[in-house]
Structure 1
Amino acid sequence: MSEETLVRRLNAVGVTALSDALDRLAISGQAIGILPVARGMKFAGPAFTVQMLPVGLTQGIVGDYIDDVPEGAVVAIDNGGKLDQTVWGDILTRVAHKKGVAGTVIDGVCRDSDCCVLLKYPVFSRSVTMRTAKDRSTAHAYGVPIQLVEVRIEPGDWLVGDSDGVVAIPAGRVEEVVAIAEEVEIAEKAILAAVDAGMRLDEARRAGGYHSLQSRAV
């Protein structure tokens, strides 16, 4: 499957159906608490991982890695959930938007949030604040395993975000997950159609197998 087709299918089903698919497959991929700066933002793409660490004697840099992020990738930044320092602002937003980066996910906070809203560039984080991470944290490593909340992210794993949050999907299982998510969407639409036609909700749910949609496969 082409990357373009995969992006289209992932964005079409959205993170709630993908979350249900992950539950069915017993994959821990829900990055709870990371939300879009503005509702309506969405993205899907493979992760370009960035590990932040506290600065040492050499100080270090926060964001020059952006030049190496490929088009269509999602910048995934592990800053340990810190709420007191930003690792993403308007300069990074403008460069990423110009390069065609799919979006940014931060286990931490961002700033200059009006810029990403104006450019319609998707930024997802725990919150926003004004204080820079310069001289506080440094981009220590790229292309390494990181953690977003309690989810381990390998470089190239797929990240999907929309108004309901962010999910991570192991690269080797993304087609399996999206196929199950599409099944969930079809079943839920059938239930709604049955209700619209006059069926009781409990009956429609039983007929559509609603209570097994998220259940782990045996």
Structure 2
Amino acid sequence: MTANDKRNDNRNDNRNVERDDNRDDNRNVERAGKLDTATLSDALDKLGINGQCYRIKARSTDFRLAGRAWTLKYGPAANPPGTVGDYIDDVPPGAVVVLDNGGREDATVWGDILTEIAHRRGLAGTVINGICRDVALCLKLGYPIFSRDHWMRTGKDRVQVEATNIPVNIGDARVQPGDILRGDADGVIAIPREHEEAVLDAAEAIHHAEEAIREACRDGMRLDEARKQFKYHQLQTRGK
């Protein structure tokens, strides 16, 4: 085998590893998308992981999202002020835009132009530690936005971009680029990449146990007996 053959083999091996990694990434996002946030929250509690994004809510209870985080951090505007960001074309399709504006509710960091472009580009949704505006368009398009609230006042000249693709804080949960975000009518869950297999395994086990309890009760079993049989009270308990 020549040196060129060896180099080509190494390149092919690397491409195969990348394809396998992408398949695993997509598979785990799909797994998360099949689970509700309540079940994922219980799995996080069982593993002692803080991933529940406090007070971050869907602008519509019909909104659902699942994808990997693309993060952006804001800070107070300087003098002269910096930009609020023209980043949207850099976000890959299927990703969740995760914006940390420090929980501010007096200045928005997302509006209708971003909603339209994000929807057209096939992004999975937007999660904001702060507020958005122009809610009517996201409702019309069905583009999922999760935030603390919505209000009309612009963030222009009030906030500016500090950095992109760094760890951020969303409702007291740490979110790093590439973490899985799952949102539904009950809120948003952040699943750290390094723990996602364990979290998803635990959540699927909880889901199956709860389905078994429901089925047993439909067949006439008492709820307390069904919960005991399927160890309901240990499902969310750490280390059990």
In which range does the TM-score fall when normalised by the shorter chain?
A: over 0.9
Distance in 2 (CA, whole Å) between partners of 1:68 and 1:60 is 19
Residue 2 of structure 1: CA displacement? 3.3
- Count, aligned residues: 218
Counterpart for residue 13 of structure 2: none
Choose from 69, 78, 91 the match for 2:91.
69
Distance in 1 (CA, whole Å) between partners of 2:169 and 2:146 is 15
Kindly indicate whether residue 213 of structure 2 is the aligned counterpart of residue 191 of structure 1: yes
Distance in 1 (CA, whole Å) between partners of 2:162 and 2:87 is 10
Counterpart for residue 205 of structure 1: 227
Choose from 89, 112, 127 the match for 2:134.
112
Residue 3 of structure 1: CA displacement? 3.2
Residue 150 of structure 1: CA displacement? 1.1
1:13-162 to 2 correspondences below 5 Å: 13-162=35-184
Compare 3-12 and 181-190 and name the one that shifted more: 3-12
Distance in 1 (CA, whole Å) between partners of 2:139 and 2:84 is 22
Q: Which has the larger radius of gyration?
A: 2
Which portions of structure 1, spanning 4 or more consecutive aligned residues, are displaced by more than 6 angstroms?
Answer: none
Identity %: 49
Any conservation in 1 of the 2:59–2:145 contact (CA below 8 Å)? yes
Deviations 1:17-67 (A, max 9, x none): 111110111000000110100011111111111100011023122231111
Residue 5 of structure 1: CA displacement? 2.5
State the TM-score, normalizing by the size of structure 1: 0.97
Match of 1:64, SS state, is coil
Distance in 2 (CA, whole Å) between partners of 1:191 and 1:175 is 24
Match of 1:2, SS state, is helix
Match of 1:33, SS state, is coil
Distance in 2 (CA, whole Å) between partners of 1:127 and 1:9 is 28
State the TM-score, normalizing by the size of structure 2: 0.88
Structure 1: segments with no counterpart, 5+ residues = none
Any conservation in 1 of the 2:52–2:189 contact (CA below 8 Å)? yes
Distance in 2 (CA, whole Å) between partners of 1:205 and 1:3 is 34
Match of 1:106, SS state, is strand
Distance in 2 (CA, whole Å) between partners of 1:101 and 1:25 is 30
Distance in 2 (CA, whole Å) between partners of 1:2 and 1:40 is 28
Residue 131 of structure 1: CA displacement? 0.5
Deviations 1:112-158 (A, max 9, x none): 00111111111000111010101100121101111112111111111
**RMSD across aligned positions (CA):** 1.1
